Structure 1
Amino acid sequence: MGLADYHVPEFEPVADESATVTTEHCRFTVLEPRLVRLEYAPDGAFEDRPSQAVWYRDQPVPEFSVTRANGTLEIETEYLRLRYEIGAGFSDDALSIVLTEFGETWHYGDGEDTLGGTTRTLDGVDGQTDLEPGLLSRDGWSVVEDTDRLVFDDDGWVTPRDAHESYEDLYFFGFGHDYLDALGAYTDIAGDVPMIPRWALGNWWSRYWEYSQADLRELMSRFREEGLPLSVCVIDMDWHVVDNPHHNGWTGWTWDEGLFPDPERFLDWLHGTGLKTTLNLHPADGVHPHEDAYPDIAEHMGIDPNTGTPVEFDASDPQFLRGYFEHVINPLEETGVDFWWIDWQQWRESPEMDGLDPLWALNHLHALDRTRDGRRPFVLSRWADISNHRYQVGFSGDTVISWDSLAFQPYLTGAASNVQFGWWSHDIGGHFGGTGDPTEFGELYARWTQFGVLSPINRIHTAKMPYVDKRPWQYDGEVADALEDALVRRHELIPYLYTMVRRNHARGEPPIQPLYYHHPEEDAAYHRPNQYYFGSELLAAPHVRERGDDTHLSRRPVWLPDGEWYDFASGERYEGGFHTRYGDLSDVPVYAKAGAIVPLDGDPTFGDTAAPETLRVVAFPGADNTFDLYEDDGVTCASRDGDFATTELRQEWHGDRLFFDIGQGRGQIGHVPDDRTYEICFRGVRDGLDVTVDGAEYTRSYDDETATLTVTVDRIDADEELTVSLDGDGTNLRADAGWRLPQIRTMLRHFSMPAGSKPPLEEHAAAFLRGDRMTLDWLGNFAPALSDRQLRAIAETLVDAGVERIDYAGDDRLFFWNDSRRTDITHQFARYDRSGVPTNREGESRHGTLPEYDWIPLSTMETHDWQFSLNYGNFVTVSESGTGDATIDI
């Protein structure tokens, strides 16, 4: 018995014959103008079966030319020129590809320097870990090595290639800096990113704990009573029988009746509250006689159940795999399990088949098995290999509770997009370690949860540690407020995020995108590891470091691309360039580009992630824009057949006037709620504007604190159109919403310094911002009342000059900026040998005016001791030194 039909995808692995060029021992397949398959087979046996990574080689044939002359083959597309010395085999002399417009040349064997990819797991990681290579490179090219991956045979399961020992199978991506195009081409041949269910975008509660069904029912009810929305209740491994005579208990398939006396009734209750659920699986030990499923799967495998012989886990055997689903997994799903958390932590190879990673097999088949009743592929599991984008969501593993772990996760999440793996689910708050102290851990937990809101999946999780408690109501004051705000904000964002789900599926655009995707020629974009685009409209720079002892604020250097930006929450306006953000625990650095349109759920509630009846649309001035809101049933694959609706939200900007249109619903408008209420929030505009709403009654209000004009229109049908007009009577609509003086005031509220010095300091800062004072010399008068860090914070806010140490993926560097190009801001840097004598090597010492933008590599220098000073006027606010890998606060 082989696999079920729904376990076998519909492959299209054979390229059009006219896309292939064959020479002695080689075949080149032009898949796209910038994507070429390169095969070398000394025996002439080329591979047309789908591999684990590549399923769709039958692509539209691009235009290209072929020239054979003097023993040389040349293939030229619009973007690439391939040259091969016929008969020579693959070597650096024989095979090269020129990126004709980009100006780079690849030779076979050139080492790759990609922008990083992702990693299998963060288990036990405290801070950073190495990442596998990605698909994107500043060099403009990358090569995917597919030679050793398994291929699918006629029965729909994988098998070794049995190719010649010198066979090679490569995919050359020559997209220059068109990074999103490269990712799109990758999904063309590897398969689209399946749409995740809408409910997966809400908050998940997870804890490794011996919960009973009564415990979980009480806990979920408490979240609802507290007004804290959830959409998923994760049940970790103790759902099943652990104590048994056969193995250590990690593997299990039978409900523990002591904890879950009526699991089906409990899962029905969860569903009735609007929650989905998953069970944690560790399948490695197979199925043993104590399991309820044992008799059926034993008979399926030809084992007499009376012998008690265990059914061994075997990812290479289609017979076992068929029985695993039909007799173990599917019956559990019939009790109400919505999806599976595959917690595979064992071996990477299958003894029965060389090259088969059981994790890949589980991810592949679990995702497909879920489609048997029309649902979308969906599984929570670790990353197995390139092409794992087809099997979202990624479980990143058991991280250590620390600030370093938090600081690494935004970088990891962005880099994972470089292999199209956009839906990471981290253990928000960390898995194990830490102190559990409510004050110390509370700040870290709140910041981690704020990052979780700005992550693909927000899954709060904890190890089995009684003194680490992540229930939000266990915290007081600002931590509790920050947690509540974060959890509510996440559910507000679901309409926006779900449209990004569709974009990822239909366009190959990941939900999290590093800044260099859109600004590839800006060097600064490659040095912002903790900043990223969060969907199409927003840029996130979450706080990932604890507050200073004397500032009581978190410091966050930020680079914004050219243009106009707005703080998403406050409406404060920023110009492109560098600035340093200082914020208390309520501060979440999220920026909206000029013209941004962000649809939100206007009334988020527990267990409800459906298309909202009240849609709050936050719109920002400064540019024209269009946002197509996407809605469907949220769970099935029907959207493949066009069963979805879109609503166009469009803004037209004229400086002193603004027109905002809500278009008619298009497509299957039954997915759009009847009589939807629209709250259109124009953020960053001034009060007193004339408002006109065509064809509908409305109410208006204005919030001074966020510079937001809200126009509310009730009960609009999906097939109606609506236009809101703002008129400034010849004066620009923008509010006077600068950010610098408000940040100075925030600092002064939190600084530990004499209260009497705060008003005059604010007055001097305001005068400086007005241009009444040209230098920062006056700040030196306050030096006795301020620490160096406090002085640095004031200066950074006023003049946009600073320094930051960045250390990710082994690339340790000092990064500094002087956005205002002030000549009175100077710096000094020196390296020292072991005896403390300054070195004189080029690049290891420097001084003078702080450059507008530059960076110093630390990891590539031979010596380890260094000192850096940054001077604002006549006083020093930063003076740091480092030895080796010592961490410092700059």
Structure 2
Amino acid sequence: MSLPDHLRLATRPGAHADNIVHAGPARITVLTPALIRLEYSPDGAFEDRASQVALFRDTEPAAFDVRRTARPDGREALVLDTAALRLTYDGGPFATHGLSVQVKGGVSNYHSTWGYGQPPEGNLGGTARTLDMVDGECALEPGILSRYGVAVLDDSASLLLTDDGWVAAREPGRVDVYVFAHGRDYAGALRDFYALTGPTPVLPRFALGNWWSRFHRYSADEYEGLMDAFAAQRLPFSVAVVDMDWHRVDIDPALGSGWTGFSWNRELFPDPRAFLRHLRERGLRTTLNIHPADGIRAHEDRYTAAALALGRDPSTGEPIAFDAADPDFLHAYLQAVLHPMEAEGVDFWWLDWQQGPFSALPGLDPLWMLNHVHYLDSAREGARVGRPMTFSRYAGPGSHRYPIGFSGDTVVSWASLAFQPRFTATASNIGYGWWSHDIGGHLFGVKDDELATRWVQLGVFSPILRLHSTSDAFNSKEPWRFGREAARVMGDYLRLRHRLVPYLHTMNRRAHTHGQPLVRPIYHEHPWADGAYEVPNQFAFGTQLLVAPITAPTDLELGMAAVDVWLPEGRWYDLPTGLSYAAARGGRRIRMHRTLDDLPLLARRGTILPLAGASDDEAVSVENPTHLQVLVVAGTPEGGVGEFDLLEDRDDDAWVRTPLRFDGRSLVIGPCEAERSAESEVDSEGEPVDPFAAIPAVREWEVVVLGAANVTGASVAVGGRMRRGHVRPAGRDGVAVSVGPVEPGQRALVTLDGDMNPAGNDVPGRVFDLLDQAQIAFEDKRRAHAALTRPDDPRSGLLELGALNLPEPIRAALTEIVLAQ
């Protein structure tokens, strides 16, 4: 059994001989000082092939010491020390009393020792296969990070990858375990995990925009008309998802259920090629939903081709059963059935497998095999996506190699929304960074404008934003189907998602090269701060932002919803509201309150955030923009200089880097740096390749400084030519400076004049605004306002609030404003 060359993973599974220690029936491989592989084999034979999880064991020789001692029973005992751990092994079958690993580094001597067969303590969780029918929380599989410093990845049950690209079962009775003993070096644990399993691939740029999806019996005209309606409303989308009714579903029951199908419903889509072409002309990539479990049956358009590819007689009409354990079937399924449809214009497939983890080959999960071959097949020469990609459910550790993840059919409820931020962020603890949720929820529940709006806001700051709903005439996610205020806010955030694509694509590349997923729990960056573990729904969004989604309804008297936030030490600025916050050493817990328009989106002083387009109201595409707006948060950055390297390509790995540097007064843009040179590459006609082909030959730049106290002017220098810059107000407390056109090889410098100290919060004004909208007695408003607007110290008035008849949410929101800084 074998698969074509393009369906074979590149692996380097053999470990360096200097990293291997033999001890009777065990083999210990020191992959890094904190990552060891433990194998037990009763027959003394060990496995050097790659597995479904572990592809690369060829790490550099590691430093370690081994001491061997004789036991009274004649067996050899072993103690192995690295800089990160101590392993003790009694030389017998692996058992709790005879094999242990202790983490060094002061986490906890008691909790940080793991004995074989026992679950390590303090595991921070990983992810789950699906959120199908989940209403609230679900159990999570373990990850490779532990608050007590040791985590275990048991690879004993996974299949082996053979040289011909296929899989093979392991010999029974063997144990194959990886121990991650990184203490609280979470970044180091993830780096080692990716080094072992392979990195997260770079996604196609188009995947980072908005996706439209709905389980609905669309016709071609209706679908295209909807895309035109979105454009008319300035609602940008980059991916068109067509759910299962694109294919024939009303078939003879003798042929199957109708869920599996690979043939266009010509009544709804009379000219599929034209339909797909029209979507591409609108700037959309298209994916079709497929449920392949019932195989390929006689009514399918490509049945004859598939039967002939398998050497069968198509005249018999015998069904071709789905068989994930048959490489010949998989090859025919891809080549004879799916490739011709890709030639028509299908960009990638939404693989919807829900039939369980069993197949004809013991241990082979059909979902894993489908993810594996679909992803690799999308990387073949001539595939449409530019970069390989599939869209399917999670199939266990190592699934990060096959993005993007479809999390399943969530119930529409506040409980489901409240779980999704933690679910998404925690998945990074097993290296899984590209979840796509049904934003807004899939089924059941009630129509709730606020819930839908908050879910869209979360979607903007999720790895993938895909609006979706079930087959129900009343359940759909077009913003105009909600109330006026909800529709306005949804539209603003959908446009913001596309403006964020330059930042997202940079983080996309960083996830691949640095092993740092886009969405991460706060404790990844602050592992020793207790507060970082107490806000599981708060997360880092790339390198520049902290996000705390609102996942609870508005308090009717206050007119705001609340979320608990933990801020690391430093000065922070909330981009939507302009509120500034200060946190002392050890961090600070704050309950933040926001109207429907906003959620806490926090950035440090000196933060640099590139956005596509020139306006908040602009519906930009996901292509590399001709106009870039750079948001900079006023104040001197930590370390003296704020840095951001904008990374761009055209899904061809011809990357261009644009360095951005801010010292509190001046912002430097460029010059651009190419990762390939014209001297080293030529095109098909032998002409030098433009190393800056990924970006516009001339790009318009604008700098927006947020939270500046009193900027009086600016100077702009492009390519050494100085001029006065045009300065205009921007937002509540910002200024915008037009830089003008800049070529890739030029350096632009924007220097601000005036007081560059960050603006303080307008406490009296914000207190008045909050009380003005509050649905409480006028007398209570007047007394609270008088207490908190004393000219000497508004904080002293907080004591008086306790004596007033104020609801607790209003008292908490006023306290936030007064004490934020």
Task: Give the alignment partner of residue 609 of structure 1, picking from 622, 625, 631.
Answer: 622
Q: Write the distance in 2 (CA, Å) between the matches of 1:588 and 1:772.
A: 25
> Secondary structure of the residue that 1:114 maps to in structure 2?
coil
Match of 1:779 in 2: 801
Match of 2:434 in 1: 423
Tell me, yes or no, if the aligned pair for 1:67 and 1:73 is still in contact at 8 Å: yes
Task: Give the alignment partner of residue 648 of structure 1, picking from 639, 644, 659.
Answer: 659
Kindly tell me: are residues 702 and 759 of structure 1, through their superposed partners in 2, closer, same or farther at Cα, counting changes over 3 Å?
farther
Tell me, yes or no, if the aligned pair for 1:495 and 1:629 is still in contact at 8 Å: yes
Tell me, yes or no, if the aligned pair for 1:700 and 1:709 is still in contact at 8 Å: no
| Post-superposition offset of 1:711 | 1.3
Kindly tell me: are residues 776 and 568 of structure 1, through their superposed partners in 2, closer, same or farther at Cα, counting changes over 3 Å?
closer
> Secondary structure of the residue that 2:10 maps to in structure 1?
coil
Letter in 1 for 2:90: E
Q: Write the distance in 1 (CA, Å) between the matches of 2:536 and 2:356.
A: 32
Tell me, yes or no, if the aligned pair for 2:576 and 2:598 is still in contact at 8 Å: no
Q: Deviations over 1:304-358 (max 9, x none)?
A: 11111100000011111111111011111111011111111112110x1111110
Q: Write the distance in 1 (CA, Å) between the matches of 2:269 and 2:546.
A: 44
Question: Is 2:207 aligned against 1:181?
Answer: no
Bigger Cα displacement from structure 2, 693-702 vs 42-51: 693-702
| Post-superposition offset of 1:221 | 0.4
Q: Write the distance in 2 (CA, Å) between the matches of 1:388 and 1:703.
A: 47
Count the aligned residue pairs: 777
Question: Is 2:115 aligned against 1:107?
Answer: yes
Bigger Cα displacement from structure 2, 150-159 vs 510-519: 150-159
Q: Write the distance in 1 (CA, Å) between the matches of 2:657 and 2:455.
A: 33
| Post-superposition offset of 1:21 | 1.0
Tell me, yes or no, if the aligned pair for 1:687 and 1:709 is still in contact at 8 Å: no
Gaps of 5+ in 2: 71-75, 675-690
Q: Write the distance in 2 (CA, Å) between the matches of 1:743 and 1:285.
A: 61
Question: Is 2:450 aligned against 1:443?
Answer: yes
Letter in 2 for 1:31: L
Question: Is 2:512 aligned against 1:505?
Answer: yes
Q: Write the distance in 2 (CA, Å) between the matches of 1:549 and 1:107.
A: 53
| Post-superposition offset of 1:195 | 0.5
| Post-superposition offset of 1:35 | 0.6
Match of 2:67 in 1: 67
Match of 2:554 in 1: 547
Letter in 2 for 1:85: D
Matches within 5 A, 1:115-126: 115-126=124-135
Tell me, yes or no, if the aligned pair for 1:570 and 1:707 is still in contact at 8 Å: no
Matches within 5 A, 1:560-575: 560-575=567-582
> Secondary structure of the residue that 2:144 maps to in structure 1?
coil
Q: Write the distance in 2 (CA, Å) between the matches of 1:108 and 1:239.
A: 51
Task: Give the alignment partner of residue 535 of structure 2, picking from 528, 532, 541.
Answer: 528
Matches within 5 A, 1:17-416: 17-70=17-70, 71-86=76-91, 88-102=92-106, 104-112=112-120, 113-161=122-170, 163-165=171-173, 167-245=174-252, 246-350=255-359, 352-373=360-381, 375-416=386-427
Letter in 1 for 2:636: G
> Secondary structure of the residue that 2:235 maps to in structure 1?
coil
Tell me, yes or no, if the aligned pair for 2:715 and 2:722 is still in contact at 8 Å: no
Q: Write the distance in 1 (CA, Å) between the matches of 2:726 and 2:620.
A: 30
Kindly tell me: are residues 132 and 336 of structure 1, through their superposed partners in 2, closer, same or farther at Cα, counting changes over 3 Å?
same
Matches within 5 A, 1:637-676: 639=653, 643-653=654-664, 658-667=665-674, 668-676=691-699
Q: Write the distance in 1 (CA, Å) between the matches of 2:233 and 2:392.
A: 31
Bigger Cα displacement from structure 2, 328-337 vs 469-478: 469-478
Q: Deviations over 1:573-593 (max 9, x none)?
A: 111222222221111210012
| Post-superposition offset of 1:602 | 1.8
Match of 1:878 in 2: none
Task: Give the alignment partner of residue 452 of structure 1, picking from 443, 446, 459.
Answer: 459
Root-mean-square deviation (CA), in Å?
1.9
Q: Write the distance in 2 (CA, Å) between the matches of 1:799 and 1:250.
A: 57
> Secondary structure of the residue that 2:354 maps to in structure 1?
coil
Q: Write the distance in 2 (CA, Å) between the matches of 1:41 and 1:2.
A: 28
| Post-superposition offset of 1:690 | 4.3
Kindly tell me: are residues 316 and 773 of structure 1, through their superposed partners in 2, closer, same or farther at Cα, counting changes over 3 Å?
closer
> Secondary structure of the residue that 1:761 maps to in structure 2?
helix
Q: Deviations over 1:444-473 (max 9, x none)?
A: 111100000010000000101111232112
Kindly tell me: are residues 772 and 539 of structure 1, through their superposed partners in 2, closer, same or farther at Cα, counting changes over 3 Å?
closer
Question: Is 2:727 aligned against 1:735?
Answer: no
Q: Deviations over 1:349-402 (max 9, x none)?
A: 10x111111011111110000000263221111111110000111111101111
Q: Write the distance in 1 (CA, Å) between the matches of 2:179 and 2:811.
A: 52
Letter in 2 for 1:558: V
| Post-superposition offset of 1:237 | 0.3
> Secondary structure of the residue that 2:810 maps to in structure 1?
helix
Kindly tell me: are residues 682 and 176 of structure 1, through their superposed partners in 2, closer, same or farther at Cα, counting changes over 3 Å?
same
Question: Is 2:662 aligned against 1:625?
Answer: no
> Secondary structure of the residue that 1:498 maps to in structure 2?
helix
Q: Write the distance in 1 (CA, Å) between the matches of 2:123 and 2:177.
A: 16
Matches within 5 A, 1:687-698: 687-694=710-717, 695-697=721-723
Kindly tell me: are residues 763 and 354 of structure 1, through their superposed partners in 2, closer, same or farther at Cα, counting changes over 3 Å?
same
Q: Write the distance in 1 (CA, Å) between the matches of 2:196 and 2:816.
A: 48
> Secondary structure of the residue that 2:145 maps to in structure 1?
coil
Tell me, yes or no, if the aligned pair for 1:499 and 1:630 is still in contact at 8 Å: yes
Bigger Cα displacement from structure 2, 493-502 vs 682-691: 682-691
| Post-superposition offset of 1:288 | 0.4
Tell me, yes or no, if the aligned pair for 1:553 and 1:584 is still in contact at 8 Å: yes
Letter in 1 for 2:100: S
Match of 2:444 in 1: 433
Kindly tell me: are residues 389 and 494 of structure 1, through their superposed partners in 2, closer, same or farther at Cα, counting changes over 3 Å?
same
Q: Write the distance in 2 (CA, Å) between the matches of 1:313 and 1:407.
A: 38
Letter in 1 for 2:342: E
Tell me, yes or no, if the aligned pair for 1:270 and 1:276 is still in contact at 8 Å: yes
> Secondary structure of the residue that 1:470 maps to in structure 2?
coil
Bigger Cα displacement from structure 2, 598-607 vs 715-724: 598-607
> Secondary structure of the residue that 2:283 maps to in structure 1?
coil
> Secondary structure of the residue that 1:733 maps to in structure 2?
strand
Identity %: 41
> Secondary structure of the residue that 1:270 maps to in structure 2?
helix
Letter in 2 for 1:790: I
| Post-superposition offset of 1:714 | 1.2
Q: Write the distance in 1 (CA, Å) between the matches of 2:463 and 2:454.
A: 16
Tell me, yes or no, if the aligned pair for 2:276 and 2:346 is still in contact at 8 Å: yes
Q: Write the distance in 2 (CA, Å) between the matches of 1:719 and 1:454.
A: 33
Gaps of 5+ in 1: 801-819, 821-890
| Post-superposition offset of 1:164 | 3.8
Q: Write the distance in 2 (CA, Å) between the matches of 1:486 and 1:463.
A: 22
Tell me, yes or no, if the aligned pair for 2:711 and 2:753 is still in contact at 8 Å: no
Letter in 2 for 1:345: Q
Q: Write the distance in 2 (CA, Å) between the matches of 1:138 and 1:492.
A: 36
Letter in 2 for 1:372: R
Kindly tell me: are residues 741 and 477 of structure 1, through their superposed partners in 2, closer, same or farther at Cα, counting changes over 3 Å?
farther
Q: Write the distance in 2 (CA, Å) between the matches of 1:74 and 1:691.
A: 65
> Secondary structure of the residue that 1:427 maps to in structure 2?
strand
| Post-superposition offset of 1:767 | 2.2
Question: Is 2:729 aligned against 1:703?
Answer: yes
Match of 2:487 in 1: 480
Q: Write the distance in 2 (CA, Å) between the matches of 1:689 and 1:29.
A: 63
| Post-superposition offset of 1:152 | 1.1
| Post-superposition offset of 1:208 | 0.1
